Amino acid sequence: MARPDRSGRVTERGLLRALCWDPGHRIAIDAQDQMLVIGSARAGEHVVGSRGELPLPASARQMCAIVPGQPLLLAALVADDLLVIHPASTVVWLLTDLHAQVIGAVVPADPAHVAAARQLLAHLGVTLADLQSHSGPSLPTLAEYLPQVIAAAGPGARRTYGTYWNRMAAAWGERPLDAIAASDIEAMQRQIAATARSRRNSRSGRHAGEHVIAAARAIYNRAIADGLIDAAASTAHRVVKPRRLPSTRRALTPDELEEINLSARTSGNDVLLDALLLRLHAETACRRGGALGLRLADLDTDRGLVRLTEKGATLRWQPISLDLAAHLYEHARFRGAVLPTDRLLRYRNGRVITSRRYDHLWKRIGEQLPWVAAQGISTHWLRHTTLTWVERHFGYGVARAYAGHTDSTGPATTTYIKADLQAVAAALSALTGQPHPLAAVDRASRP
């Protein structure tokens, strides 16, 4: 018995010694019939680790419903030079004889199998009383359970998965959670991917297919957390997500950026708002959600700062030029922002802008600049542009802080290259060519 760690590695040195698999030994891993079969292979893609750990690929773990921390049954077939790994769910199949004895079936149980099953139960911490206890209530149907999932989900999850949850409720609403097969989810994934709406950044429905699997996993993750099903019984986690393709986004060239700004300032029904949006994103490298959430209280005109609340409820103060801070304040007060909680960015009639403004902006720019529409350029490309410039001139640590990535764990090196607010302000000052009150005065490091 062994338990995989969070990275999917499992260690059982006794069996490896029996198989004569030393560190560096090349192996091939094959998932079949809900188990992993590992054998020696000179050209194998995987190797035994230096401490005797076996790396189990994520795709293979998903196909066999192997969950980190849950026990696995390992069996070495020394004569065949194979190692077989069974997930926790397979244990049920191994206890057939013991179940027959416990429930009083007439089928005679093999004493050797009973002894082996009892030993296996001891490893798992399961008693005969647990097996004899009555099963819990029947699982709810998807239609009954989905409102609970939606209530517990955040606004981002509801916005992203809501359409797919509705499709699932319409197709499988009357089925209990354990009656939805992995093949059902995969069939819906392929159907939605094939009929996905073509957008500027679409990739033949690939993202829609990913969202189907993610939406199904969100339902089963909630069911696992509520104790309704075991993690190994989640059919959604047995469907492998398609590999995420590399992003086509890149940093814009100065000429491209100038064309985009010129197009925004010379067309549309509110050129001041559009120019302000582009300037805000170019200076702060913020996401759309961070800009849309800005309030009057989030603007510090004296120190040249805005407080950004972005995905994952992360909060950070981001330096901006004093010129932009003054224009943001003037824009907000002139268009009706009075209270500290009032939103900053508004239309001329005083209404708060939404993400639709960005959609219309880039659609209009794409009509004037065909290369913008062809490449699917959006606001996020401005983030790439700014962060690329900062990384080239001020290094990775400052770029990471500029992007607001300091709340997430990264490589061990990031522990020693953290950048403070003054370093970010210095990068902004060099980017805009304007002095900033928080920028550290260091002529030797000035580009």
pLDDT digits (tens, 9 = 90+) for 127-150: 666 655 544 557 899 999 999 999
Exposed, middle or buried by CB within 10 Å (0-12, 13-18, 19+), for 114? Answer: middle
Find the mean pLDDT for residues 13-31.
87
pLDDT of residue 445: 47
For the chain, what percent of residues have pLDDT higher than 90?
47
Does 415 score more than 70 pLDDT? no
CA triplet 50, 52, 54: central angle to 5 degrees? 105
Does 235 score more than 80 pLDDT? yes
Report the chain's mean pLDDT, rounded to a whole number: 85
Confidence of residue 12 (pLDDT cuts 50, 70, 90): confident
pLDDT of residue 242: 75
d(CA 58, CA 183): 19
- Distances in Å between the alpha carbon of 280 and those of 62, 113, 171, 223, 305? 42, 70, 44, 42, 12
Other CB atoms within 10 A of residue 439 CB: 21
d(CA 219, CA 140): 12
pLDDT of residue 104: 57
Find the mean pLDDT for residues 61-72.
80
pLDDT of residue 248: 81
* Contact partners, residue 250, CB within 8 Å, separation at least 6: 381, 384
Architecture of the structural domain at 254-388: Orthogonal Bundle (1.10)
pLDDT of residue 447: 46
Confidence of residue 92 (pLDDT cuts 50, 70, 90): low
- Angle of the 421-432 helix axis to the 271-284 helix axis, nearest 10: 130
Domain-by-domain residue ranges, the chain?
9-92, 95-132, 142-238, 254-388
d(CA 328, CA 340): 14
pLDDT for 332-391, tens place per residue? Answer: 999 999 999 999 999 999 999 999 999 999 999 999 999 999 999 999 999 999 999 999
